[in-house]
């Protein structure tokens, strides 16, 4: 399986060129999307009501693909003030 769109270079630009940060942001968002799709909808709907109906309508894509698309379109990002980017 390959990631064709969005391009990985474009996604890395949205995560300070840090593949681990990109993975973390995408996995957290994909988890929220999966919660919406798997029945735990109340928590997810309260958290992100605007895109709830769009996600339910897009049952063709997998949650991680949706998350990468949202990162590419800058709908989802991270707060650099809450993430420790220093190396320990």
Rg (CA), the chain: 14
Is residue 38 in a domain? yes
Q: Collapsing DSSP states into helix, strand and coil, what is residue 62?
A: coil
How distant, in Å, are the alpha carbons of 18, 39, 58, 88 from that of 61? 25, 17, 6, 37
Is residue 85 in a domain? no
Is residue 59 in a domain? yes
The CA distance from 23 to 68, in Å, is: 10
pTM for the full model? 0.66
CA torsion through residues 39, 40, 41, 42, sign = positive
Instruction: DSSP letter for 46, please.
Output: H
Per-residue pLDDT 10s for the chain (88 aa) are 455 678 888 889 888 888 999 999 999 999 988 887 776 666 666 666 666 666 666 556 788 888 999 999 888 878 877 766 565 5
Q: Which domain holds residue 59?
A: 8-72
> How many independent structural domains does the chain possess?
1
Number of alpha carbons in the 13 Å side-chain half-sphere of residue 83:
13
Is residue 82 in a domain? no
């Amino acid at each position: 399986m390959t990631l064709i769109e969005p391009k990985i270079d474009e996604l890395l630009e949205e995560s300070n060129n840090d593949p681990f940060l990109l993975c973390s942001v995408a996995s957290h968002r994909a988890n929220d999307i999966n919660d919406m799709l798997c029945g735990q909808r109340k928590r997810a709907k309260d958290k992100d009501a605007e895109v709830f109906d769009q996600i339910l309508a897009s049952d063709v894509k997998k949650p991680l693909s949706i998350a990468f698309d949202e990162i590419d379109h800058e709908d989802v990002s991270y707060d650099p003030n809450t993430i420790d980017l220093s190396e320990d």
